[in-house]
Homo-oligomer: A and B are copies of this chain.
Amino acid sequence: MGVTIKDIARKLGVSTTTVSLVLNNKPSRISPETRQAVLRAAAELNYHPNQIAVSMVTRRTGTIGLLLPDISNLYFSSLAKVIESECSALGYNVLYGNTNDSVENDFKYLELFLLGRAVDAVILTPSYQLGEEERVRFRSLVESSGIPVVTVDRRMQQMEVPCVCVDQELGGYLATKHLLSLGHRRIGCITAQPNVSGSAERLRGYRRALEEAGVSFDQALVVAGNYHVESGIQALPILLGQGVTAIFAANDMMAIGVLRECRRFHLRVPEDLSVVGFDDIFLAEFLEPPLTTVYQPLDDIGREAVRQVAEMLHGETGGERIISFKPSLRIRGSTMRWAGAQETAGK
């Protein structure tokens, strides 16, 4: 069960060296005859190299670890699709882990993959910003293993690891500015936990837009969600209680929650409430109303993450570089001019 080069060698009366040389197209000048013979025998016996054995000696697995917080979030599953496809094109397989937005799971998989030398590199979306202690743990993990690690979508502060993402702050700014330009003044914001990278930046963008427009920031208009639909649902009544006329949700899932809950409250979107999301998951345009949201160039991000990994695999050094793409606003049906805008129109 399992033809080996030994079998081929024996059958042909040559050494395993010869077989290996031929099968790997090594530039050692084997006579055309033996060459053909080996090739034919390999085909006849239906030989296929045992990748484990190959990995054993070459010290590379041909596998890249991919750690994502939640594959059932359309944003991440689309990202996974791009990354897997890019990896596949480079001859790499993807070992996948769902971290459920838990730092413990981040570490669980990281240790599994890095310490076990099960992968040649890792692409991950870290769950939270690490505390000092965890930072040490992470750093020693990465350094001692010597395995390239690249972060995608979210940054790891103070870590010497390349990060591929979007300019989150700008995204938050664009979303909020759009609402402001429509005359909204009381704009709610649903963020994720403050120590999730990305979330804080999006909030910063929100604040900057407000300040620029001379609208004072009100902490009561900011509620922390968790990037899941449910937290959008829960946030809505709180924000309505604050009299908001528009909501910026830090991702599309939460925006979907808001949309959904609005119907339960018989609130029309966008007539009664404008809603902006973030990510532009591909279902966003199919919602009712089609969701105005901040587009992330997913393909670029995924492609670039793999490119970064590939570079490091080819000896390029890591280090804390940030490759940042520009997000852009996709205006659709979930936002409109605030009916009461005339009052403040003169501003």
Spell out A's residues near B (CB within 8 Å).
Answer: 1-2, 46, 48-53, 55-56, 61, 63, 66, 70-72, 74, 77-78, 80-81, 84-85, 88, 93-98, 111-112, 115-118, 144, 146, 229, 256-257, 259-260, 263, 282-283, 285-289
Contact = CB atoms under 8 A, between A and B. Distances in A.
Nearest to A82: B72
A187 to B, nearest CB: 23
B263 A283 contact: no
Given A52-B117, A72-B78, 6 more contacts: A63-B95, A84-B97, A85-B98, A96-B96, A263-B288, A287-B288
A1 B146 contact: yes
A80 B85 contact: no
A66 B97 CA distance: 12
Given A77-B71, A93-B97, A94-B95, A116 B48 contact: yes
B94 A96 contact: yes
A68 to B, nearest CB: 10
A302 to B, nearest CB: 12
Nearest to A76: B77
A207 B9 CA distance: 59
Contacts of A61: 52
A69 to B, nearest CB: 11
- Nearest 8 pairs of A and B residues by beta carbon: A288-B288, A48-B115, A51-B116, A77-B77, A96-B96, A260-B286, A52-B55, A72-B78
7 contacts: A1-B146, A48-B116, A52-B55, A72-B81, A74-B74, A77-B80, A94-B95
A255 to B, nearest CB: 10
B98 A81 contact: yes
Interface centre among A53, A111, A229, A283 (most CB of B within 10 A): A283
A321 to B, nearest CB: 24
B117 A50 contact: yes
Contacts of A56: 52-53, 56
Contacts of A111: 48
Contacts of A118: 51-52, 93
A2 B49 CA distance: 25
